[in-house]
Amino acid sequence: MNSYFSFLCTAFLTIFLSACQPSEPGKEVYQQQLFTFGTLVDITILSDDSEQAKKAINAVSSEFDRLHSLWHPWNNGVLGQINKKLALSEPTEIITEQSIFKLIEDSKSLSEKSNGLFNPAIGQLVRLWQFDKIEQDDYQFKIPEPKTIQDLLAQNPQMQDILIQAQQISSNNPSTLLDFGAFAKGVAIEKMIQLLKTYHIDNALINAGGDLKVLGSKNGKAWRIGIKNPANVHDPAKQAIIAAINLNDNETLFTSGNYERFFEFKGKRYHHIIDPRTGYPAIGTQSVTVLTQDAALADAASTALFIAGPKLWPDIAKKMGIQYVMLISEDNKVYMTPAMAERVELLIETKTEIVPIIHNQPVKPLS
């Protein structure tokens, strides 16, 4: 009996366990977490050359640090210096840092396409809310004076007020200050992906605080991403992930959420995404996830669509050329474009509405 039994068991295990062996040896995974760019950046690289992978990670790390200081709106970097001049209504010195001009030009175009909902010129308004002090030890949150907010809104700071002449930057409007908080991360991720390519890295994932872009695949498989359920972020008993999505080469996923940076004050939450129309944190949306191939566009669009809210977002998505959108409203309803609905795998049952982005429909200008 023993030999037959052994034979049967061996046959059984051979058939069922053979699938556990990988079909071909995969590349090594190199992972590094960095505290940079005001967030936690997670870099995953697949490579069969460990030296090259380490060099690439070091290069990305230094470049993130460099861009963070260059583009910080209030520190002593180039953008900080520009803002100091703008606050004095003076033109800047000659700027040699080309990346600043591109940030401004690209922002102008995206701000226009978003009907002004993406507006990096409202740096003064954003600063009133002092979210930049969120990590300071001695800061006590207070709501800005309504009159101060109204006065700033009345001055209507816009990207179009910013002028570039002979490499000098000035503004037609004393209320404009530049804060690329809703754009810089996307531009930086896009630059890092290009940087990885120069190190011959073809398969990678860069995740900066929950906003990410992928290159290639994970040993032949698509990168699998979970999307946070904004309703359950602070409730451990409930499903933390609302949906899963597989990302292919060069795709990027950006999410703007009301749970990311906020102050709780007298039982009310004040989050960091300021509506340029009201001067207060945008209402109606819990989170917006955008999928495109351009991280800079994804960053600006996720902010603009968050502010647009459950009614206006399809118009803005159309104008900005975004096909893949998932918006979760404050009443926990999931809105998706048909393209997104095809890609995303919802993991919980919830009210869902598929909203086609209607073409050739005029978008009403904002008052």
Partner 1 sequence: MQLEKILTLSKELLKPADILIMISAGLLSIWLYSFFWFDNNQQGKADTLLVQFAENLPQEYPLNQARLIKIQGHIGPSLIEIKQGKARFIHSACRNKFCVFHGWLSVSGDTSACLPNRISITLKGTRNQYDAIAGGQ
Residue closer to partner 1, measured from CB, 78 or 290: 290
User: CA–CA separation, 65 vs 53, rounded Å?
Assistant: 19
Shortest spacing between CB 322 and partner 1, in angstroms:
16
Shortest spacing between CB 92 and partner 1, in angstroms:
30
Please give the torsion angle defined by the CA atoms of residues 282, 285, 289 and 295, in that order, rounded to the nearest 10 degrees: -10
Shortest spacing between CB 177 and partner 1, in angstroms:
24
Containing 104, the helix (H) or strand (E) segment is helix 98-113
Q: How far is CA 126 from CA 157, 161, 185, in A?
A: 12, 17, 17
Residue closer to partner 1, measured from CB, 151 or 345: 345
User: CA–CA separation, 48 vs 52, rounded Å?
Assistant: 9
Shortest spacing between CB 40 and partner 1, in angstroms:
4
Residue closer to partner 1, measured from CB, 176 or 258: 258
CB atoms within 10 A of CB 283: 12
Residue closer to partner 1, measured from CB, 112 or 202: 202
List of residues contacting partner 1 (CB under 8 A): 1, 4-5, 8-9, 12, 16, 32-35, 38-40, 42, 44, 134-139, 205, 207, 209-212, 218, 223-228, 230, 233-236, 240-241, 244-245, 253-255, 257, 259-261, 287, 289, 347
Residue closer to partner 1, measured from CB, 127 or 228: 228
Q: What pairing do the DSSP bridges indicate for beta strands 203-208 and 211-215?
A: antiparallel
Residue closer to partner 1, measured from CB, 206 or 357: 206
Shortest spacing between CB 169 and partner 1, in angstroms:
30
The Cα angle at residue 272 between residues 269 and 276, in degrees rounded to 5: 115
Residue ranges of the alpha helices (H) in 180-257?
A: 184-198
Shortest spacing between CB 144 and partner 1, in angstroms:
18
Contact predicate 101/84, CB 8 Å: no
